[in-house]
Structure 1
Amino acid sequence: MIRYLTAGESHGQALVAVVEGLPAGLRVTAEDIQAELGRRRLGYGRGPRQRFEVDEIELLGGIRHGRTLGSPVSILIKNTEWFRSDVWHEEMSPAPGATKKPLTQPRPGHADLSGMQKYGFDDARDVLERASARETAARVAAGALAKLLLREIGVDVLSHVIQMGSVRSTAVARPTMADLAKVDESPVRCFDEKTQDAMIAEIEAAGGKVRFVQTNVADEQSVKDFIETVVSQGGRLDGLVNNAGITRDGLIMRMSTK
């Protein structure tokens, strides 16, 4: 059985992947793993970190002269942001101490709040540094070894997108390994060029609604009394409009036209 473990944080020194269960004699090079990490950076809507983060790997153990030894394979992936600034040296230091800027406001849609509640943290960074898309780089490295093992027995694998939201490709042709470069060139990894643009449009049109919630606001009668006071003192108030926000096609609009 093949098993893998990953360690490391998003803005720490590095990520580490340890893979055990690989047979001895499997041909592995750093370039094989580096190529898969390069493919991880592709895709529509990728974050800005993908543009400047460089995945530098080191094979720490389990491989000698390009072949596995049968012992666990250890791969280190450096986080280049760590070396760009001393800020992360202090913020992510393993030495005893405390951060000067704790993150006490969890982000919506992330693991911050549930992680803080589960482990009793008062700093969201203790959660988000691990629950980060950056951690998937270590998984890609481990997966690269699994793909090399499959290749030894003549098995190749690839993936491509056939549906995005309500947009689905109707193409009959399926890609082969010879088409992998073409799939990677598609921003949405769709082998069907005719459907690709429609998928991108579907992403852009997803939109959503925004609800603004206020607290400690005076009741309706108090607001009316305030308006009457302002008007009686010679002031001017043009009006109040129910104006919940709505986003569509990447734009922020008003539900009211007034």
Structure 2
Amino acid sequence: MLRYLNAGESHGQCLMAVLEGVPAGLPITAEEVNNDLARRQGGYGRGGRMRIEKDQIEFTCGVRKGKTLGNPLGLLIRNKDWENWKDIMAVEPGPPSTERVVTRPRPGHADLVGAIKYGHRDIRNVLEKASARETAIRVAVGAIGKALLGQFGMQVVSYTMEIGSVVAPTSLDPLEAYAKAEESQVRCWDQGAGEKMIEEIRSAKHKGDSLGGVFEVVVTNPPIGLGSYTQWDRRLSARLAMAAMSIQAMKGVEIGMGFESARRFGSEVHDDIYPDESHTGFMRKTNNAGGLEGGITNGQPIVIRVAMKPIATLYRPKNSVDIQTKEPFEATVERSDICTVPAAGVVGEAVIAYEMANAMMEKFGGDCLDEMKRNFDAYQAYVKSF
């Protein structure tokens, strides 16, 4: 199994993670990871922090000559903005900093509940870790997952489906949609909808407001049989939903037809099964289930849509209460984005890729990539003969 822990503050020295369980012999380069880190920093509607940082991964251990060793991987991303914060965020003992102290929590953020839970009187101690800056290191971990999945012919892609009131039409081909989305400032595959999304973001910025939306993540070519129905916490559908909801500001997840399936008859929802001599022996002409039945992959593409709320930091702040004086104030304005849905899709790819790679390791895992491939090939032969 794979597992990792991450650490680091938004304005601290760095973000880091230790990733355990990656089989030996997996080809990986910093360039592959940095490509996804750059994608996370892009998108129309981003704020000033993205002009400061240029995220680059450092493999501190676990990789030699472009291949994993089977040891835990050490991943590190340095924060360039640390130079402007090293006195405020100093590790050494000393009097509390009086600069940039935050006492006015933002509605919709972890500020107030985090301060109460951990006993902080300076909310900066909360927002430094609750910040979405943390997703950079998770994108790096997810890039390792993508590399592993790629060895078995799988891809994890995403694109924006909604921003504010603008909804893009549904695409029938996820890889084609992804290719077009990568050329869009808002990562929308449909040019017309993308232009309307940009106008929506401009309008929100003019009002001092923020916008959320919906992105879709698709996993192509998954094998039948990942996940399990035998225990609630082994259902892959549940694990993927948890992964998506672990991203900051996410408020809803649906798989396949999702909530629409609750509004239709069963005859309109469930995917008919047909014989297929050329592949696994069975096929579907539709994918309303989104690639998962009973918490197990059925061989169809996995389709997940995730709803993101608007960013909590507003340049026209909402009402709040100072935690020191208990007087009403307008909430603190931290440097922020207007809309991060395009970037959130990249983070969505990462967390889904990690969970899918973990499921692959559970099913086919070995100490090295070659062993894992032998296990996979033997299982595929079994499926075709079923």
Asked whether the two chains share a fold, i.e. TM above 0.5, the reply is yes
CA shift, 1:200, in A, is 2.8
- What letter is aligned with 1:100? T
**Matched position secondary structure for 2:157:** coil
**Equivalent residue, structure 2, for 1:4:** 4
**Equivalent residue, structure 2, for 1:185:** 183
Q: Please give the alpha-carbon distance, in whole angstroms, between the structure 2 residues aligned to 1:35 and 1:128.
A: 27
Residues 171 and 192, structure 1, Cα contact 8 Å, conserved in 2: no
Q: Please give the alpha-carbon distance, in whole angstroms, between the structure 1 residues aligned to 2:318 and 2:126.
A: 27
Q: Which has the higher contact order (CA 8 A, sep 6+)?
A: 2
**Equivalent residue, structure 2, for 1:13:** 13
Q: Please give the alpha-carbon distance, in whole angstroms, between the structure 2 residues aligned to 1:198 and 1:118.
A: 41
Classify 1:157/1:13 alpha carbon distance in 2 versus 1 (closer, same or farther; 3 Å): same
CA shift, 1:46, in A, is 0.7
Give the TM-score of the pair, scaled to structure 2. 0.50
- What letter is aligned with 1:169? A
Q: Please give the alpha-carbon distance, in whole angstroms, between the structure 2 residues aligned to 1:211 and 1:16.
A: 33
CA shift, 1:75, in A, is 0.6
**Equivalent residue, structure 1, for 2:65:** 65
Q: Please give the alpha-carbon distance, in whole angstroms, between the structure 2 residues aligned to 1:54 and 1:157.
A: 23
Q: Please give the alpha-carbon distance, in whole angstroms, between the structure 2 residues aligned to 1:100 and 1:59.
A: 36
Q: Please give the alpha-carbon distance, in whole angstroms, between the structure 2 residues aligned to 1:49 and 1:210.
A: 19
- Give the one of 67, 90, 95 matched to 1:93: 90
CA shift, 1:203, in A, is 4.0
Cα deviation code 1:208-251 (max 9, x no counterpart): 798889xx9xxxxxxxxxxxxxxxxxxxxxxxxxxxxxxxxx9x
**Equivalent residue, structure 1, for 2:288:** none
- What letter is aligned with 1:64? R
- Give the one of 199, 202, 209 matched to 1:201: 199
Q: Please give the alpha-carbon distance, in whole angstroms, between the structure 2 residues aligned to 1:212 and 1:17.
A: 36
CA shift, 1:204, in A, is 4.5
**Root mean square deviation of aligned Cα:** 2.6
Instruction: Write out aligned runs for 1:1-258 (5 A).
Output: 1-83=1-83, 85=84, 88-97=85-94, 98-101=96-99, 102-170=101-169, 172-176=171-175, 180-205=178-203
- What letter is aligned with 2:169? T
CA shift, 1:205, in A, is 5.0
**Matched position secondary structure for 1:162:** strand
- What letter is aligned with 1:195? A
Classify 1:67/1:194 alpha carbon distance in 2 versus 1 (closer, same or farther; 3 Å): same
Residues 42 and 184, structure 1, Cα contact 8 Å, conserved in 2: no
The alignment covers a number of residue pairs equal to: 211
Give the TM-score of the pair, scaled to structure 1. 0.74
